Every structure is written in structure tokens, then in C-alpha cells.
Chain A
Amino acid sequence: MEVQKEAQRIMTLSVWKMYHSRMQRGGLRLHRSLQLSLIMRSARELYLSAKVEALDLEAPSPPARCPDPRLHPPREVEVPAACVPPDGEQPLPEPMDTQEEEETLVRCSPRPARVCRKRRSSSLSDGVDAGLVPSKKARLEEQEEAKDSSSEVPDCLPPPPAQAEGAFPNLARVLQRSFSGLLSRGPAASPTAPPARDAKPACRPADPMLSVLVRAVVAF
């Protein structure tokens, strides 16, 4: 669990840094954005591998297939575990099961609003890691303010807006809105009580966060 918490802390910190770097004079720097996204990816993989290990200790749950064809490029999800070189070109035979499960877990996250509706009823009760499944709140987040996220589990990343594409200034507004709750707590806010997400399904979309920020890089 420590590993998960640490990974989550680093992800939160990275998101804050990404937001903060946009406020700097000269705007977003491509190299810095890339480095931050690399850290977020590593943190996510660490988080996932720790979660999967934890899941493996319990009864293994059937992987949830995601029907969404518009999948995030699978390159970055090919890496099975933290101890394997991130090339991902040669997946090890051993953790193949883990990798596959992981892949499907992660694959379903990138398009939160669209996918979430379908998955919510079917898969969440299977004990699939709720921390990675996006929630309906992801879409609502856009219309309502960040008040939803703050009423949710406080220590996790708030769901990102569904659409973060578009011109640079729009992204700024969107990020500002979504992260205002997060920012008011600051990056040093450490996880408090064990997240309620283990008890009831809530959505902690680490991966959509990454895709949002990859799109930040694209927009730039």
C-alpha cells in the first residue's frame, strides 16, 4: 500500500507541477512537460503493478473488456511491472497474465466520459481497481465546479474534464477549473485516511490524467 500511496503522491505532485509550469513566464516548456509526463507514467505503472499484485493476492477478477475503439496508443501500457525495462518491446512470458489484465485495466481509462457510462454497472462490482476507472463525475466535472471532487475522496486526483482538446487558452481554463480544488490543498497534501474508494466504487482516473496532459503537450 505504501507503494501505491507514494505513486499517487508523485502523480499528484506531477500534475501540480504541470499546472504550475504553465503559469511561468514563457509558458509550457516541451522538455519539462515531457519529463513530467514520463514521471507520471512511471508513477502510474508503479501504482498499477502494486495494485495488480494486491489483486493477485485476492481472487483474480475477470478482466473487463473495453469496447471503446479509440484507445490510447498502447505503447506505454505494454510495460508490465516496475522492474522491467520500459521498452516494452519484449514482454516477459511470466507476467503475461498480469500484463494483459493490466493492459485492459488501463486501456479502458483513457476516454472517461464515454466509457464510464457503460462500464459502471457491469464491471465495478467485480472488484476491478476502482481507483483507475473513470467516473460519471468526469463529465459532470465540466459543468459543475470542482465541488464534486472535493466532496469525494480528498487525497486522489480529481477527474479530468472529458474534453481537454482545443486551443491553448481553453486548456488553461479547463485545467484551472479542475485543479482548483487540488491546488487549494497544495502539492504537499499527503494522503489522509485510507481512501474510501476501496470500499465503494469511485473513480480515480490516473490514466485519463495522463492523456489530458499528453494532450496538453499536443496543444502546445
Chain B
Amino acid sequence: AGGGNDIQWCFSQVKGAVDDDVAEADIISTVEFNHSGELLATGDKGGRVVIFQQEQENKIQSHSRGEYNVYSTFQSHEPEFDYLKSLEIEEKINKIRWLPQKNAAQFLLSTNDKTIKLWKISERDKRPEGYNLKEEDGRYRDPTTVTTLRVPVFRPMDLMVEASPRRIFANAHTYHINSISINSDYETYLSADDLRINLWHLEITDRSFNIVDIKPANMEELTEVITAAEFHPNSCNTFVYSSSKGTIRLCDMRASALCDRHSKLFEEPEDPSNRSFFSEIISSISDVKFSHSGRYMMTRDYLSVKIWDLNMENRPVETYQVHEYLRSKLCSLYENDCIFDKFECCWNGSDSVVMTGSYNNFFRMFDRNTKRDITLEASRENNKPRTVLKPRKVCASGKRKKDEISVDSLDFNKKILHTAWHPKENIIAVATTNNLYIFQDKVN
């Protein structure tokens, strides 16, 4: 987007139940496009993964891109019980990460609080028929009734998409897993919990290497936890992790086996004019994402999105306020627990625009080149395909103009925590509590 050709976002699809009564298991907890953008995966609180596939573009009518339809649904994680600690382990899917496609099958990693699983999603469109010893329904024939021999052949069948767990990476995390990230070598990946980061090989499930450990000897001295971690998109030895104190550490695995000493520490000094009772907890970083180029990284804290140049540690190069009008409401947001909400953020394919969610089912986009930002709403009210979304505006104080919404009218139960941007095109997936919205740019 630049010059006079700003993107106009249009409603494309919405997935999920219509009724307002949200079943807790249906709450969407993660959204992720695969590397080609053809597949879109969601995970929910009930431990389910739903994968949507984009229809092949209709070459004749190319005024809209293909729709996303359900491709596969499977139960990834089940609730478990840790008998030693008398704790239930939630089945909620915290993160999904796709592997790049190597053959006909697709692979993804999904994780809950304690266990990571590698899933293979494969298509089956033919099946063998004509066995000598088995009937078509699988029952074994009496060998004495076999009088002739035939060679079984493959016959076409209705497409079936199967998901099977190929690896289960368990028992490596004492605390709750918040991130997984696949390395650019496509052989290893990291998983991070509150205090530790482990390195895994995709083929090996009974061993992982601990590469970061910030657990203090005396837990009473604990002052910060790890909130997110990600591998660099190009350098297979580099990863970053963010903390609850608003810092990001970049580590190089070549430096030492245990990367407790960072190579770089990214931290912005606090603005004294913004100090408040809650400043400490709102500086906690809820998400960190490298740009596709690998030159920048983006962090999300409660009120803002920051873009960091990897070559400059002392401050971000860009800061975007997501919902600054909430700064004076932090006490109320503490009371209703919203201050603990963990918003994610994402880059577009060309790293020129970033997106993140807010409340009232609003989501925000910031164009890094034009410095323009826009607020849009994910709502079923605009649900005619190709309806252009109208920009929304929140009135912080004073006179509310027409079409503006005042801060006190915002619905804090309607929050957009998870968003994803197609890696190549202007298609975005935005998750409200239990619905998935897909928006596309207007194609003339």
C-alpha cells in the first residue's frame, strides 16, 4: 500500500458458530497460514485443530481469490492429569507451526502447555481393491475357498484427508509452553516455557537440549519469565526470546551450549511520563515475530507494537500505539483481567504492513511506509462478500463524532488476540473469540 493505492479490505468468509453462547472448547487459541498460504490452520481450547484449504483460483472469474474450506479436522491434544503435582494439563492448543512442504504430505507442529506433537496430514484418493485373502470389507476369507489368484489394483475413491501423529515430544517442560519455532534448517525446532527453552530434532523425541534456562537458584528471586521465542528466518544459529519485563534477548547457539548470555539485549528505557502503577506489567511482551527479511523483529506489549532493527539494541526504530486510550483505564482492565490478555502480531508478506488485534473485535494495521494506520472490525454485520470494510475510530475523550465509538462502550469481552497474514497475498485471517474471519483486498 502506498501512494494513492491504499488497500481496501473486503469481507470474504466467516467460520464458526453463529450464536452468542460460546462453548469454551470452541474458543480459537491460534491461527497460522502454511508457507504457501494454501492452508490455514486453527487450534482451539478444546484441543482441536481445523485446517482450511484454499480453493484453486477460478481462472475464468478471477475477481476473487479462492475460498477457504475445511480440509481436515482432528483432535490434537486431550486433557491430561499430572498425578505428581495434582494438576490438570489443559488440552488448549497454544501454537501451531507448519513445516515447509517436502513431499505430498503436509506436516505441522501443535503444542499445548506440556506436549508438542508432529502431525502428518496426507491425502488419500485411491485404495487397493481385489485382495485374494480378504473381502472388500476386511474380513478374511477362508483360504480353502480361494480358487483363483488376482493382482490387487488401486481404484479411485473419494478424497480422504488423514491426520496422524508422527512424533510426540513430551516431558521436557516443567512450566507452561508458550512458543514453538521451527529452525530454518528444517530439522530442528525450539520450544519455550516460562523459564526454559529447549532445542529438539524433529526425528528424536526422547531427548532435547536445554539452550536457555533463566530459573533462579532461589525461586523467591524470580523477577522475569520468558514470554515468547522465535528462530531467525535465515540464520539457523540465531533465535530471540522476549521477557515479561519488556526486553528481548538475541542468542547465538554457536557461542555456547547454554545460551544464558545473550549476544544482544534489546530494551527501551521507560518513558518516565508514562510511569504508572501498572507500567511494569503492561511492558510485558506478549509476542515477538521476525520480519520475513530477517532484518527486523516486531514485539507486542499491552498497548503498543514496536519494530526493532536487529542492529540497534537501545530502542525500537518504530513504535505504533494500538489503543493508547486504554492507558487511563488500566485499573479497570486489571479488575476485569483484560490487562493480562496476550495479543499477537504479524507481518504482511513484504514486511511493509503489520497487524495486531484489540478489543471490541477491532484489529489494527500499521503501514510502515506511509505511516498510516487503520482500525477495522470483524463483525457479522458486514458479511456480504466483497463488502468493503469501513474504518472504525475510537473516541478517547471529549465529543464523540458520528460513527465513532467511545472508550466506555467498547466490549472488552470481544477481543482479537490471534491474527495471521497470507505469506504472499493480501488475505488475512482474524480470530474473534470463536469465529474465524477471512478478509481479502479488493480486486478490481
Q: Which 6 residue pairs spanning A and B have beta carbons closest together?
A: A218-B219, A27-B87, A26-B90, A30-B194, A35-B281, A31-B225
How does the 8 Å CB contact mask read for A75-88 relative to B, with 1 for contact and 0 for none? 10000001101100
Could you name 21 residue pairs across A and B whose Cβ atoms are closer than 8 Å? Answer: A13-B334, A26-B87, A26-B113, A27-B88, A30-B175, A30-B195, A30-B222, A31-B176, A31-B227, A34-B223, A34-B225, A35-B281, A39-B281, A42-B277, A73-B220, A73-B221, A75-B221, A86-B280, A168-B85, A215-B220, A217-B222
Contact of B244 among A31, A42, A169, A214 (CB under 8 A): A31
Residue numbers in A under 8 Å from B280 (CB-CB): 38, 42, 86
Contact of A218 among B195, B220, B225, B334 (CB under 8 A): B220
Residue numbers in A under 8 Å from B113 (CB-CB): 26
Contact of B176 among A26, A35, A73 (CB under 8 A): A26
Q: How many residues of B contact A (CB 8 A)?
A: 34
Residue numbers in B under 8 Å from A27 (CB-CB): 85, 87-88
Say if the beta carbon of B256 comes within 8 Å of chain A: no
Q: How far is the CA of A43 from the CA of B281 in the complex (A)?
A: 13
CB distance from A10 to the nearest CB of B (A): 8
Say if the beta carbon of A114 comes within 8 Å of chain B: no
Residue numbers in A under 8 Å from B194 (CB-CB): 29-31
CB distance from B67 to the nearest CB of A (A): 35
Q: A31-B225, A39-B278, A42-B280 are in contact. List 4 more A-B contacts (CB 8 A).
A: A10-B334, A26-B176, A34-B224, A38-B280
Q: How far is the CA of A86 from the CA of B87 in the complex (A)?
A: 34
Chain A interface residues toward B at CB < 8 A: 10, 13, 17, 25-27, 29-32, 34-35, 38-39, 42-43, 46, 73, 75, 82-83, 85-86, 168-169, 187, 214-215, 217-218
Contact of B89 among A13, A26, A83, A214 (CB under 8 A): A26
Q: Does B277 contact A46, Cβ atoms closer than 8 Å?
A: yes
Say if the beta carbon of B19 comes within 8 Å of chain A: no
Q: Which of B47-86 contact A (CB under 8 A)?
A: 79, 85-86
Q: How far is the CA of A32 from the CA of B334 in the complex (A)?
A: 12
Q: Which residue of A lies closest to B280 (CB)?
A: A38
Q: Does B176 contact A168, Cβ atoms closer than 8 Å?
A: no
Say if the beta carbon of B340 comes within 8 Å of chain A: yes
Q: How far is the CA of A96 from the CA of B337 in the complex (A)?
A: 36
Q: Which residue of B lies closest to A76 (CB)?
A: B223
Known: A25-B90, A42-B277. A35 touches B220 (CB 8 A): no
Q: How far is the CA of A75 from the CA of B337 in the complex (A)?
A: 28
State the majority secondary structure of interface residues on B.
loop
CB distance from B299 to the nearest CB of A (A): 16
Say if the beta carbon of B284 comes within 8 Å of chain A: yes
Q: Which residue of A lies closest to B79 (CB)?
A: A25
Q: Which residue of B lies closest to A7 (CB)?
A: B277
Residue numbers in A under 8 Å from B220 (CB-CB): 73, 214-215, 217-218
Q: Which residue of A lies closest to B113 (CB)?
A: A26
Say if the beta carbon of B381 comes within 8 Å of chain A: no
Residue numbers in A under 8 Å from B224 (CB-CB): 34
Residue numbers in A under 8 Å from B225 (CB-CB): 30-31, 34
Say if the beta carbon of B142 comes within 8 Å of chain A: no
Residue numbers in B under 8 Å from A13 (CB-CB): 334-335
Residue numbers in B under 8 Å from A82 (CB-CB): 277
Q: Does B340 contact A32, Cβ atoms closer than 8 Å?
A: yes
Residue numbers in B under 8 Å from A10 (CB-CB): 277, 331, 334
Q: Does A25 contact B88, Cβ atoms closer than 8 Å?
A: yes
Residue numbers in B under 8 Å from A17 (CB-CB): 337
Residue numbers in A under 8 Å from B86 (CB-CB): 168-169
Q: Does A217 contact B219, Cβ atoms closer than 8 Å?
A: yes
Q: How far is the CA of A129 from the CA of B79 in the complex (A)?
A: 49
Q: Does A38 contact B281, Cβ atoms closer than 8 Å?
A: yes
CB distance from A160 to the nearest CB of B (A): 15
Q: Which of B81-103 contact A (CB under 8 A)?
A: 85-90
CB distance from B6 to the nearest CB of A (A): 38
Q: How far is the CA of A138 from the CA of B378 in the complex (A)?
A: 52
